[in-house]
């Protein structure tokens, strides 16, 4: 398949590699240019989203936020300026479910098809092609694109119609944030009580408290390795989507709001670009105790 890919960041670059290694033809565009790690691959670098869409049968976007997707799809020299008849746009960014439905409608009016397919699993999952992919859109288009999605992920679920994939991703980010908070509190408690936090983490991995967050992010907390990963600023964006939607629905999400405030504390400490496991730094500041000082 001729595939366009727009957005070659931490996530997009390894995802493109998997597509190339499966012998797809790639047309790519990124505002930061071609990453050095892709320099040795056979692909076509395009100057705009329009140029990508003119040459590709399916156009995948992997971008930071809702305005970025809007600009790439509908801005000057955007994807929508190409002839989209019969082509598929697959947005794998994590953005607003409400705006996603509007984007899908506009693409369909131009003769194209649209899937929202946000991912979970971070850089580790992108590199290992083990991402969880939550898809919203027509069943027939999902089936058409499934072999491509399977090159980048393992747990691939069509949740429902356009927007439902993004709704599932927001829910995922709520669970991740609250689990990071729980793991951080537990390791902080253990460390302050005099126990070795790494050995406590190992013990908990064998019980009902075990989770991927405890395994990966718990280790980062103990070892103080907060290079992203998944940046706090991006997780804040996702929680903002949850809290804004909850306000519109008259829904209470008190723990999600708490997690957002802890991320705000990290940002105040200069941690906007830290990995989201660094939420532990906000908890440590509240208690005036650091795991690393144990």
The per-residue b/e assignment along 118-147, b for 16 or more CB within 10 angstroms, e otherwise, is: bbbbbbebbbebebbbbbbbbeebbebbee
Q: Are strands 25-29 and 44-45 parallel, antiparallel or unpaired?
A: parallel
| Cβ atoms < 10 Å from Cβ of 198 | 18
CB burial of residue 45 (10 Å; 0-12, 13-18, 19+): middle
Bridge partners (DSSP) listed for residue 59: 4, 89
Annotated catalytic residue, options 17, 169, 212, 223: 169
Q: Which residue in this structure is represented by tokens 């690393």?
A: 292
From CA 81, how far away is CA 53, in angstroms rounded?
A: 9
Q: Which residues are CB-contacts of 235 (< 8 A; sequence separation ≥ 6)?
A: 173, 176, 177, 263, 276
d(CA 160, CA 136): 5
Instruction: Tell me: cis bond preceding 21? Omega within 30 of 0 counts.
Output: no
Q: What is the DSSP-derived secondary structure letter of residue 64?
A: S
CA distances to 45, 199, 276 from 42, rounded to whole Å, are 10, 47, 34
| Cβ atoms of 114 and 137 closer than 8 Å | yes
Q: Name 160's bridge partners.
A: 136
DSSP string, 127-167: HHT-EEEEEES-HHHHHHHHHHHTTTEEEEEEEESTTHHHH
237 is catalytic: no
Active site members: 169
């Amino acid at each position: 398949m001729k595939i366009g890919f727009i957005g070659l960041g931490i996530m997009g670059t390894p995802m493109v590699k998997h597509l190339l290694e499966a012998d797809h033809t790639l047309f790519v565009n990124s505002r930061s240019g071609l990453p050095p790690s892709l320099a040795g691959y056979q692909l076509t670098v395009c100057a705009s989203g329009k140029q990508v869409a003119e040459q590709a049968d399916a156009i995948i976007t992997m971008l930071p936020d809702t305005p970025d997707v809007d600009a790439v799809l509908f801005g000057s020299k955007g994807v929508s300026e190409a002839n989209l008849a019969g082509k598929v746009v697959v947005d794998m960014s994590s953005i607003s479910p409400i705006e996603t439905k509007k984007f899908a409608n506009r693409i369909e009016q131009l003769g194209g098809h649209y899937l929202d397919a946000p991912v979970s699993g971070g850089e580790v999952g992108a590199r290992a092609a083990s991402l969880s992919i939550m898809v919203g859109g027509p069943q027939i288009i999902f089936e058409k694109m499934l072999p491509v999605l399977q090159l980048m992920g393992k747990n691939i679920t069509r949740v429902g119609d356009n927007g439902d994939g993004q709704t599932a991703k927001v829910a995922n980010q709520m669970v991740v944030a609250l689990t990071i908070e729980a793991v951080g509190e537990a390791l902080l408690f253990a460390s302050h009580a005099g126990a070795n936090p790494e050995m406590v983490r190992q013990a908990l991995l064998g019980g009902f408290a075990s989770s991927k967050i405890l395994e990966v992010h718990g280790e980062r907390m103990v070892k103080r390795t907060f290079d992203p990963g998944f940046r706090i600023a991006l997780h804040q964006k996702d929680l903002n989507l949850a809290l804004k939607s909850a306000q519109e629905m008259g829904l209470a999400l008190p723990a999600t709001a708490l997690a957002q405030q802890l991320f705000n504390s990290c940002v105040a400490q200069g941690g906007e670009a830290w990995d989201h496991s660094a939420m532990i730094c906000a908890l440590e500041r509240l208690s005036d105790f650091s795991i690393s000082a144990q």
